[in-house]
Structure 1
Amino acid sequence: MTAAPSNPNRLRLIKLIHVARRELCMDDDIYRLMLAGMTGLDGATSSANLSVPNLLRVLEQLKQRGFKVRPNKTQKRPLADDEQSKKIRSLWLTLHDLGAVRDPSEAALVKFVLSMTKVAALQWLTATQASRVIENLKQWQQRVTRASNSHEGTV
């Protein structure tokens, strides 16, 4: 017997079905009984033996039993790499180094930008919005630097 050709979508569906089984607390016997009882699968009791359309049918059956597909957190949007976004990120990290920003993460930066511009990703900022964020961060940095310099003189 030869193995089915490697289809990335097929492998993704099999992984998703296994996630659904785990989240629905289905042990192996229950899962195999569900497969055996489904019409159109010709008595198959393993996802490894199923075609993509049949894998989709199994996934639909698991959804009917309460499984909810959530986006994969590892498939994040790539970082914005335009010059203004790089400058925003650089200022943010500098503010962290100065102790003004507790969380240097990209998520915290995006939250800050969202609160200021109502835009949820650096990639979506207009040049004007990005300039406004940059100026705001520069002014914040100047305030922090002035405050730390005035405290250095007092001992």
Structure 2
Amino acid sequence: MASPSSDQRARLIQLIHIGATELGMDDDSYRQMLANIPQLEGARSVAKLSVPKLNIVLEHLKAKGFVVVPKTANPQRKLADDPQSKLIRHLWLSLHTAKKVRDPSEQALAKYVARLTKVDQLQWLDGRQAAVVIESLKSWLER
């Protein structure tokens, strides 16, 4: 089992590499940045750095504009709440109640919408696309 410090070390190295990528650094500029941090004493790689030195590198990247986004950030989008989206959701749930749809989830609805319109989220539908989905769901419900 990995120790907490090795887990922390691996996480810091991962964040440093993500930060360098997001800042658009190529390998040469990344290694030069490392060499220019006085506390690293000329190191050109993070592979053998201690946790405190890795924190110094991460803080250096943050000073250059890298923003760490916590894993706990909720990547889910807010549900569309416009009238057409509400109607689409209502029809979808009605199909589930009528046992014509097995999975009533928002993800299943999004897959159905994407299959019809090539648009992945209800929020992104324009009026014409929403009308296509609504009419499709209505005719499915009538069958």
TM-score (norm 1): 0.53
In structure 2, distance between residues paired with 1:77 and 1:41: 43
Q: What's the CA shift for 1:125?
A: 1.0
Q: 1:110 maps to what in 2?
A: 110
Q: 1:42 maps to what in 2?
A: 39
The worse-fitting range, judged by mean Cα deviation, of 116-125 and 87-96 is 116-125
Going from structure 1 to structure 2, the CA distance change for 1:100 and 1:41 (only over 3 Å counts) comes to farther
Going from structure 1 to structure 2, the CA distance change for 1:52 and 1:108 (only over 3 Å counts) comes to same
8 Å contact from structure 1 (residues 41, 54) kept in 2: no
Instruction: Find out whether 1:119 has 2:131 as its counterpart.
Output: no
- Residue identity (%): 42
Q: 1:28 maps to what in 2?
A: 5
8 Å contact from structure 1 (residues 41, 50) kept in 2: no
Q: Looking at both structures, which has the greater relative contact order when contacts are Cα pairs under 8 Å and sequence separation is at least 6?
A: 2
Going from structure 1 to structure 2, the CA distance change for 1:29 and 1:117 (only over 3 Å counts) comes to closer
Gaps of 5+ in 2: 14-33, 41-49
Instruction: Find out whether 1:53 has 2:68 as its counterpart.
Output: no
AA aligned to 1:138 is: K
In structure 2, distance between residues paired with 1:135 and 1:85: 13
In structure 2, distance between residues paired with 1:122 and 1:51: 41
Going from structure 1 to structure 2, the CA distance change for 1:86 and 1:42 (only over 3 Å counts) comes to same
Trace 1:1-150 onto structure 2 (pairs within 5 A).
28=5, 31=9, 40=37, 42=39, 45-46=51-52, 50=56, 53-54=59-60, 56=62, 74-143=74-143
Going from structure 1 to structure 2, the CA distance change for 1:77 and 1:41 (only over 3 Å counts) comes to farther
In structure 2, distance between residues paired with 1:120 and 1:96: 21
8 Å contact from structure 1 (residues 113, 120) kept in 2: yes
AA aligned to 2:5 is: D
Aligned length: 105
The superposition leaves residues 15-52 of structure 1 with CA deviations (integer Å, 9 ceiling, x where unpaired) of xxxxxxxxxx67525839x98xx7637377448x6586
TM-score (norm 2): 0.56
Larger gyration radius, structure 1 or structure 2: 1
In structure 2, distance between residues paired with 1:139 and 1:51: 59
